[in-house]
Structure 1
Amino acid sequence: MFRLVMSNIEDLRKFYARLMAANAASSDPRLEEVFAEVPREAFLGPGPWTIVAGNSKVTTPSADPAHIYQNVLVALDADKGINNGEPFLHAQWIGKLTPKPGEAVTHIGAGTGYYSAVLARLVSPGGTVTAFELDGRLAELARKNLEAYGNATVVHGDAVTTPLPPSDIVYVNAGVVAPPAPWLKALRPGGRMIFPWRPAERIPLAVLVTRTEKGFACDPFMRSWFIPCVGASTTNAAANIPTREQAALTRSIWLTSDKAPDRTATAIFGDVWFSSKNLRAKAGK
C-alpha cells in the first residue's frame, strides 16, 4: 500500500510538472524536471490547506498532496492576503527568464521558498539564489524549507532598502509602481528582471526587463496582480502615472541620473522613468 501511494504522488507530480512546462512553452526541458522534483507540499505547512478561489476560500478535504498539484492558490497567511502563488503564472515567468546553471538569482518576496527552490535547482550547478522575505514568520519557514538547497540563502529583510547582490536574474513577487533604481543597477549585463508593475489600481502588468548595452529594455507581456511591495508601491504628487495604453506601449526603462525624461516618456517616478523607445530596434529604424 505504501508503494502504491508513493507511486501515485510521483505520477501526480510528473503530470503537474508537464502541465507547468506546457503552459510556460519553454524550450528548456529542465523546467519540467524541476517542477516534478521540488515537492510543493513541503513548502505549504501541514494540510488540510486553504485554497484561494476568487474572493472565496475552500479548505481541501484532507492533507492528501493530490489537492495541491493543480493550478491553485494556496494561502500562506490568509489575513495578509499572502499565498503560494499561481503555478501556471510562475512557470511562465520562470520559463521567460530562462535561468541557466551558474547564474545568480535574487528573489524578492520569497514567501516560504517554493519558487526559490525551483530557481535554485535551475541555476545549479554553480548558481545561487538570494531569497528576500519581509515577513519574519515566512522568512523563518523559508529558511527551514530551503535547508536542503545548499545554493539558496534567505534574507529576512527589506529588499527596497537593503542592497541587492549583483544578479543575473531579479525575480519580484510584490507589486511596485516602479522598480527601485538599485534593483536595476544590481542587474549584470544581460541580466533579466520580472516584476509586477502596478503604477495605478487599473494597471496590473507583468514586465520583463533586460539589461542591454543600450540600457534597460522592457516588455509588458501579461496582466498580473500581486500584493503591494512595502516601500515601493505608492506614488507622490510629482509622479507621472501612465494610462493603460501608455503602460502597454512602454519598451524601455531609464534612470534619470543617466538620461532625463524626454517626449518618449510614458511614466515618471522620481529617479526611474519609462519610455516608448524600443532599444532593440535596428539601426536606422
Structure 2
Amino acid sequence: MAAYDSGTEGLAAAARAALVREIDAEGVWAAEPVWREAFAEVPRHLFVPYYYVAGAHGYERRWGESPDPAARERWVRGAYEDVPLATRLRDGELLSSSSQPSLMARMLVALRVADGDRVLEIGAGTGYNAALLAHRLGDDDLVTTVDVEPEISESARRHLAAAGYRPAVVTGDGARGVPERAPYDRIIATCALPSVPRAWVAQCGEGARILTPVATGLLALTVRGGCAEGRFLPSGAFFVPLRGVARARAGDMAEVPPRAREDELFQFLAELTQGVLSPREAYEVWVREGRPGRERFGVSVGKDGEWVWLDDREGPCVWPLPV
C-alpha cells in the first residue's frame, strides 16, 4: 500500500470533511450521530487506490500513484465524491465497487448497531464499510466480512490494515454466511440477492437484525424463533448482484404500458414477483393497489419458505420468493 505525501493527505482530509458536511446536511445520521464520527475518521481514499470512471470512450482509470500531480488530485477528490466507484472490472463487467457514501450511511443507521454487537458483512468490497463498522464498535473482532473472490478479500484485508483496522476477512460464499464466527447480532449485505439465504437467519441470535438489498429495495428483517420478518425501507438501492447469483429479469414487458416500464416502483414489484407473476399481472396488482411504494412490501422467512407480501402477511397479496 502506497504512503501518500502530506499534500495528498491534506487534500484528502479536506475532501473527507466536505463529504461529511454534505451527508450531514441531508440529516442522514441525525438519529445516530456516532456514524458521523466514523465517516469523518475513516479515510476512504486508502480503500480505493485506483478506481474507474465511465466516460465517452470507456472507463478512465484514476490512480493514486500516478506520476501526474493533476491526475493524483483528480483521484483523491473523486474518492470523496458522494458517488459509487467502480473498483474491479472484468471484460467490461462490473465485479466490485465502493458504494455511494450517503447510501452506506443510510444503511448503517438502518442497521441499528449497538455497542458490543457482532456484525457480519456480506460482500467485502474494498473493506471501507467493514472499517466504518470496526470504528463504530471499537473492536475489530466484532466485525466479520466475507467475499467469494480471493482477490477482493485479500485487497480488502490490505486496505483495512493500511487504515489501522483488522476485522476478520473471510474468503467464501456469502450466501452461506460464516458459521464459524456466529452467532451474529447484525448482518448487512452490500450486494443484491433475489431472496434471503436461510443460512443467515440460522447464524443470527434472537432479536438480530438483517439488512439486505433484495430486488432494488433495502429489506430490514428481525430474527425471532429461527424465523425472520420485516419490511422494505422507502428508498431504492441498486447494487452489484452477489457473485454466482444473477439479477432477476422481469420478463416480457410488451403488455405493460410504456410509462409503467420506466417507473422504478413498478420495476421493483415486477422483479420481486419474477417467476410468480407475469409483468402484466404485476402491473394489474400495482394499479389496483394504488401504485404502492417499497415500504408497503414485506418479507417473511420461515421454515416453510420465503414470502413477499403487500401490507399484511395474512392479506390477499402474498407471493413466494425464490430460494
Task: Give SS of 2:45's match.
Answer: helix
CA drift of 1:264 comes to 4.6
Unmatched 5+ residue regions in structure 1?
199-203, 272-285
Which one of 20, 41, 48 corresponds to residue 44 of structure 1? 48
Distance (Å, rounded) in 2 between the aligned partners of 1:246 and 1:167: 33
TM-score by length of 1: 0.77
CA root-mean-square deviation: 3.4
Q: Structure 1 residues 92, 167: CA separation in 2 closer, same or farther (over 3 Å shift)? A: same
Distance (Å, rounded) in 2 between the aligned partners of 1:192 and 1:54: 42
Structure 2 residue aligned with 1:15: 18
Distance (Å, rounded) in 1 between the aligned partners of 2:108 and 2:56: 24
Matched to 1:139, the amino acid is S
Which one of 190, 193, 206 corresponds to residue 218 of structure 2? 206
Distance (Å, rounded) in 1 between the aligned partners of 2:11 and 2:87: 26
- 2:176 corresponds to 1:161: yes
Structure 2 residue aligned with 1:275: none
- 2:160 corresponds to 1:149: no
Task: Give SS of 2:125's match.
Answer: coil
Structure 1 residue aligned with 2:38: 34
Structure 2 residue aligned with 1:182: 199
TM-score by length of 2: 0.69
Structure 2 residue aligned with 1:283: none
- Structure number, greater radius of gyration: 2
Q: Structure 1 residues 178, 58: CA separation in 2 closer, same or farther (over 3 Å shift)? A: same
Structure 1 residue aligned with 2:269: none
Q: Structure 1 residues 167, 26: CA separation in 2 closer, same or farther (over 3 Å shift)? A: farther
Deviation string, structure 1 residues 144-201 (Cα, Å, up to 9, x no partner)? 2223213x11111102235442222111111111111121232323322221112xxx
Distance (Å, rounded) in 1 between the aligned partners of 2:318 and 2:36: 37
Structure 2 residue aligned with 1:66: 77
Matched to 1:37, the amino acid is E
Deviation string, structure 1 residues 214-261 (Cα, Å, up to 9, x no partner)? 9522234221211222355467xx953594667833234131438999
CA drift of 1:19 comes to 2.2
Which one of 300, 303, 307 corresponds to residue 253 of structure 1? 300
Distance (Å, rounded) in 1 between the aligned partners of 2:16 and 2:236: 27
Distance (Å, rounded) in 2 between the aligned partners of 1:54 and 1:195: 33
| 8 Å Cα contact 1:192-1:208 kept in structure 2 | yes
Task: Give SS of 1:27's match.
Answer: coil
Matched to 1:62, the amino acid is A
CA drift of 1:5 comes to 5.8
Which one of 192, 197, 213 corresponds to residue 196 of structure 1? 213
Task: Give SS of 1:36's match.
Answer: helix
| 1:46-125 paired onto structure 2 within 5 Å | 47=50, 49-52=51-54, 57-60=59-62, 62-64=71-73, 65-79=76-90, 80-81=93-94, 82-125=96-139
Distance (Å, rounded) in 1 between the aligned partners of 2:56 and 2:31: 31
| 8 Å Cα contact 1:180-1:232 kept in structure 2 | no
Matched to 1:160, the amino acid is A
Matched to 1:240, the amino acid is V
The percent identity for this pair of structures is 20
Residue-pair matches, total? 262
